[in-house]
Structure 1
Amino acid sequence: MTKVLVATEKPFAKAAVDQIKTIVENAGFDFALLEKYNDKSALLEAVKDATAMIVRSDDVNADVVRAAKNLKIVVRAGAGYDNLDLDACTANNVVAMNTPGQNSNAVAELVFGMLISMVRNAYNGTAGTELRGKKIGIHAYGNVGIYVAKIAKGMGMEVYAFDPFVSADKIKADGVTPLDTVEELYSTCQYVSLHIPATEKTKESINYALLNRMPKGAVLINTARKEVIHADIVKLMKDRSDFAYISDIMPDNKDDFAPFEGRYFFTPKKMGAQTAEANINAGVAAANQIVDYLKNGNTTYKVN
């Protein structure tokens, strides 16, 4: 029996679940669903006989992997995959994948939703500023960064990007100006949209020294991970009354931002991928990747 388990504490939309179920069953596999579980023991029980698993932000740690004796593949429906224990997956011969690109437009639109609200003073009746003609920097020019660039260009902004893993020619082909160093990006751009993953190298890398390079009226937009922001951003906001920080990730030290009312905004939970379209796209992609791997051995999106 090949069983595909969808295990989501934060459920997919019903339309997404229905499509995933159809894909799985049309492939000749059994479909199982675990939603809104409040205890880890429920997940450990559900994975015991699972061959494949689809999750969202659920923690697939070593305990979960060890409990899933038949598990061959786990797919995180989304771009980030720091909730997957890659070492445990590798040690237990489990392929780990993500679904890059499926949430990209949703995240990019949120970048500008938050940014416009900030530069227009949350629509409080006072005069704000326009984005046309301003410089925006994209830190990491991946799937989301490409969408951010398209929207920014449509708004008449000057668009710059830094990504050591993307060729300058590729960036230029999109009408974006590539920069050679991360320091140059932050020194050049009044607005920076952050899209780096949380790795040992990037955690706390967005710090006082880097952010203080930004021009007057700076806004940092973080739809990446909270772990990449150094806690000394609070000191920067104290030292620079012109600096603003907006994010769809609530920081652990959120109370430290209270003195800076009007210069920060955090969504109550991670919101980048919270659209009906992204919800369906990521879930369907995860199901298709599982079927393709189990039937054809395709490991295109393997991350371990």
Structure 2
Amino acid sequence: MKVLVATEKPFAAVAVDGIRKVIAESGYELQLLEKYSSKADLLGAVADADAVIIRSDVIDAEVLDAAKRLRIVVRAGAGYDNVDLAAATAHGVVVENTPGQNSNAVAELVFGMAVMAVRNMYNGTSGTEMKGKRLGLQAYGQVGRNVARIAKGVGMEVSAYDPYCPDDVMVADGIKPVHSVEELYAGNDFVSIHIPATPETKKSIGFDLITKMPKGGVLINTARKEVIDEEGLDKALEARADLKYVADVKPDSAEELKARFGDRVFFTPKKMGAQTAEANINAGIAAARQVVDYLRDGINKYQVNK
């Protein structure tokens, strides 16, 4: 069987070596398609692949049509909105992610950006400290739990809103559950967003929610740009000169927001949450192991298109 690693932004060499070792030990064949320049390259490479490992690469109906032998796609990372789940299901293809492998990397970036925000983007002026401040987590999954762990070490008060996570799980971790997104925003000096982009969440965070934040509030987004109502964000920053927005997901209106609000906003040049050596290696090797588990034993623990 052939396992294709299709990465427009390649894994680190150490991660590729680890993937190669896992696939070789299984007796399968590995094919690399790195830094490809056109979709046609991907369409050609998937034609005889039984499995595909990707990062942010797009797997849509056209790719699935071309992949006649494909049985499984594994996205090395937590998010999987770059894969057309409905089309994959229609083609009988299992889609998996690798939850938790990038979580610490993203959580550390949350704090890097939070510190930068409260120190006024290091512009030389007096800022504030994070100890004793309140942090709200919008979703309490793997990334949120790592953010909570770091925040408690810093001495912050942490609460979370996640209708899919039982209160007793949060309480056991020393986290205060809140029961509405409005309560989360109104009750925290920092809010860190960790929700996926779904029909329900897209553009769900706008003027009304953002302006519920207390004076000096900092909104941090390492999730997806689509969950922000950019018009509402612009309006909120205009109405409240004390608010700040920092994101690892550059909004479409980034240049305009930066021109208008200066040091009150910050955006990484490209999504960097998982861009650490450790996360790169962990996610790539986990993806390879999940491919082998499925092809060899039918194990689909991390399937997301059930």
For the residue of structure 1 that corresponds to 2:263, the secondary structure is: coil
Which residue is equivalent to 2:244? Answer: 244
1:25-62 alpha-carbon deviations (Å, 9 max, x no partner): 10010000000001110000000000000000001011
Distance 1:38 1:91 in 2: 28
* TM-score, length of structure 1 as denominator length: 0.99
Mapped contact 1:97–1:303 kept (Cα < 8 A): yes
For the residue of structure 2 that corresponds to 1:48, the secondary structure is: helix
Unaligned runs of 5+ in 2: none
Which residue is equivalent to 2:289? Answer: 288
Query: What is the identity, as a one-letter code, of the residue corresponding to 2:268?
Result: T
Distance 1:29 1:239 in 2: 58
Distance 1:295 1:23 in 2: 13
Which residue is equivalent to 2:40? Answer: 41
Query: What is the identity, as a one-letter code, of the residue corresponding to 1:114?
Result: M
Query: What is the identity, as a one-letter code, of the residue corresponding to 1:252?
Result: D
**What is the count of residue pairs matched by the alignment?**
303
Deviation of the 1:126 alpha carbon: 1.3
Map residues 37-186 of structure 1 onto 2, 5 A cutoff: 37-186=36-185
Query: What is the identity, as a one-letter code, of the residue corresponding to 1:295?
Result: R
Deviation of the 1:256 alpha carbon: 2.4
Distance 1:31 1:124 in 2: 49
Deviation of the 1:180 alpha carbon: 1.0
Deviation of the 1:123 alpha carbon: 2.1
Distance 1:49 1:196 in 2: 35
Which residue is equivalent to 2:299? Answer: 298
Distance 1:61 1:193 in 2: 30
Map residues 209-228 of structure 1 onto 2, 5 A cutoff: 209-228=208-227
Query: What is the identity, as a one-letter code, of the residue corresponding to 2:226?
Result: E
Distance 1:249 1:294 in 2: 34
Query: What is the identity, as a one-letter code, of the residue corresponding to 1:23?
Result: V
Distance 2:249 2:52 in 1: 25
For the residue of structure 2 that corresponds to 1:32, the secondary structure is: strand
Deviates more, 1:207-216 or 1:138-147: 207-216
Distance 1:106 1:89 in 2: 29
1:156-197 alpha-carbon deviations (Å, 9 max, x no partner): 000000000000000011111000111110010010000000
Query: What is the identity, as a one-letter code, of the residue corresponding to 2:74?
Result: V
Query: What is the identity, as a one-letter code, of the residue corresponding to 1:247?
Result: A
Distance 2:214 2:143 in 1: 24
Deviation of the 1:254 alpha carbon: 1.1
Mapped contact 1:234–1:256 kept (Cα < 8 A): no
Deviation of the 1:296 alpha carbon: 1.0
Mapped contact 1:206–1:230 kept (Cα < 8 A): yes
Q: Give the percent of matched residue pairs that are identical in Structure 1 and Structure 2.
A: 60
Query: What is the identity, as a one-letter code, of the residue corresponding to 2:294?
Result: Y
Distance 2:123 2:179 in 1: 39
For the residue of structure 2 that corresponds to 1:101, the secondary structure is: coil
Deviation of the 1:124 alpha carbon: 2.2
Query: What is the identity, as a one-letter code, of the residue corresponding to 1:151?
Result: I
Distance 1:13 1:209 in 2: 42
For the residue of structure 1 that corresponds to 2:110, the secondary structure is: helix
Residue 260 in structure 1 maps to residue 267 in structure 2: no
1:182-233 alpha-carbon deviations (Å, 9 max, x no partner): 1110010010000000000000001111111110001000000000000210
Distance 1:16 1:298 in 2: 23
Map residues 185-200 of structure 1 onto 2, 5 A cutoff: 185-200=184-199
For the residue of structure 1 that corresponds to 2:129, the secondary structure is: coil
Distance 2:179 2:19 in 1: 42
Deviation of the 1:295 alpha carbon: 1.0
Unaligned runs of 5+ in 1: none
Mapped contact 1:50–1:71 kept (Cα < 8 A): yes
Distance 2:51 2:294 in 1: 10
